[in-house]
Structure 1
Amino acid sequence: MSIVVALLAIFIGIAAWWLATQRIMSKPWLEIGVVDTPPGVRPPTAKIGLGVFLAVAGVLFALSISAYSMRLQAADWWPLPAPRLLWFNTGLLILASAALEWTKTQSHHADLDGVRFGLVAAGVFTFAFVIGQLAVWRELAGEGYFLASNPANAFFYLMTGLHGLHVLGGLVALVRVTLRAFGADQVGGDRSRLRLGLELCAIYWHFLLVVWLVLFALIAGWAGDVFEICRQVLS
């Protein structure tokens, strides 16, 4: 239980820090000197909403990881082999996250062609990641690692499936931003909404990448020693 509390505290602390950096509770009319944000202007509602959503999603993944760490100590736990394709999929998600960060930079330079290229690249990498994850499921099922065969199998499909659903949801938002980028010249050059969409996508993809790296460490078996160290420290 102590590991559960620690993980929840970490996610809540990160969410609180991020929201604090958005100046949600600031009172610009009381500030003296140069203020970065014009008086009365607060972060966009969509940005605050994303922060709250990521905090909730982070807690959900933290609970799943905590349940995993407690369940793997049981005698009936037989870990799955980590398919090599997971390494390739991890690289794809890293490329997608990096592409969106690069695209966000191009938007600040008003390079619309670069923005379009980066969005398409991020979408292709992410879609390939989803296809790769489905291929991993098919490979494991072909080797007899079914959902109901073992608790380790169930946790693998649960956590990768949960992560995959978040990726698919992000793809929907990414498609909308991409369509907005390709139609930017036809809508009067409104680039502010496009920049905001890019920033939100970049934040979300960085979150997906961090969560996946943690899940990958669990699947590959690297996290067992870390959990044991945490138990000794928190006990």
Structure 2
Amino acid sequence: MGSILLFLSVLAVIGAWWLSRQGLASKPWLEQGTASTLPEGNITPTPPSKIGLNVFLAVVGSLFALFISAYAMRMQLPDWRTVPVPTILWLNTVMLALSSVALHGAKRAAARGEMPELRLGLLAAGISALAFLSGQLLAWRQLSNEGYLLAANPANAFFYVLTGMHGLHLLGGLVALGRTAEKAWRETVAERLRLSVDLCATYWHFLLLVWLVFLSVLTGWAGEFVDICRQLLT
């Protein structure tokens, strides 16, 4: 239980730091001064869509943390049989990382007003994300062919639930990415797509971070990291 609390505390600290960077932790009602002393033209309000995405990611991050907590507690019981990690998951991780990098490049291209580079980044991100999802399906098929069925063992169920839940969120992100790409092929001014690309990039970076956490849990690296932290603290 102590290792679980330590791991969740690390996630909470990362989440609090990230939210503070987004400006959600600010308290404008406690700020000193009057409205007349505020400099004009220097305050850029945060778009409602970005605030909404930040709140959504905070909720989804809490949901993922609860699943990881349940995974860590359930694996302590004697009927737990560890699922071997398919090799293709490493290739899938590379594909998701490439998709995130491509969206980051598209975000920078939108800031510079470079429409061809923006379109190329969106296209590369979509193809890489689809390759990731295809690889996840192949991993499921490989495990099922080897007898690791959903109801055969609690570890199997957790593997399918964690990877499936992550895949569904990425699939939903692809819908938004597709709409942004469709606009990119109609628009001629990159500035009009800057917010949409920024939102997609933020969502993709978040899903990449979640996947890396999932992968560390499935491979046992997270448990080893927690044990090392406990040894250093004792």
Checking the alignment, whether the CA contact within 8 Å between 1:24 and 1:43 is kept in structure 2 is no
Instruction: Give the Å deviation of 1:106.
Output: 1.0
- How far apart, in 2, do the equivalents of 1:97 and 1:139 lie? 26
Identify which of 130, 139, 144 aligns with 2:142.
139
- Following superposition of structure 1 onto structure 2, how do residues 105-124 of structure 1 map, counting pairs within 5 Å? 105-124=108-127
Give the drift of 1:111: 0.9
Tell me the residue number matched to 2:201.
Answer: 202
C-alpha displacement at 1:8, in angstroms? Answer: 5.9
Identify if the C-alpha distance between structure 1 residues 115 and 126 changes in structure 2 by more than 3 Å, giving closer, same or farther: same
* Corresponding position: 1:223 with 2:227: no
Matched, 1:61 2:58: no
CA distance, structure 2, for counterparts of residue 194 and residue 64 of structure 1? 35
Q: Does 1:38 align with 2:42?
A: yes
SS at match of 2:203: helix
Instruction: Give the unaligned 5+ runs of structure 1.
Output: none
TM-score by length of 1: 0.87
Q: Percent identity?
A: 47
Contact 2:83 2:156 in 1 (8 A): yes
2: CA distance, partners of 1:30 / 1:171: 45
Is residue 48 of structure 2 the alignment partner of residue 49 of structure 1?
A: no
TM-score under structure 2 normalisation? 0.87
Q: Which of 80, 88, 95 is residue 98 of structure 2 equivalent to?
A: 95
Does structure 1 retain, via aligned residues, the 8 Å contact 2:111–2:191? no
Letter in 2 for 1:166: H
Cα distance change, pair 55–21 in 1 and its aligned pair in 2 (3 A): closer
Equivalent residue number for residue 164 of structure 1: 167
Contact 1:15–1:52 (Cα < 8 Å) also in 2 = no
The aligned counterpart of 2:129 is 126
Aligned to 1:182: 185
Unaligned runs of 5+ in 2: none
Q: How does 1:73-88 map to 2 (within 5 A)?
A: 73-88=76-91
| Two-structure CA RMSD over aligned residues (Å) | 2.6
Shift of 1:48: 0.3
Summarize deviations over 1:33-83 as a string: whole Å, max 9, x none: 6x8x634x4110000000000000000011111111111111111111111
| Contact 1:69/1:227, CA 8 A, preserved across alignment | no
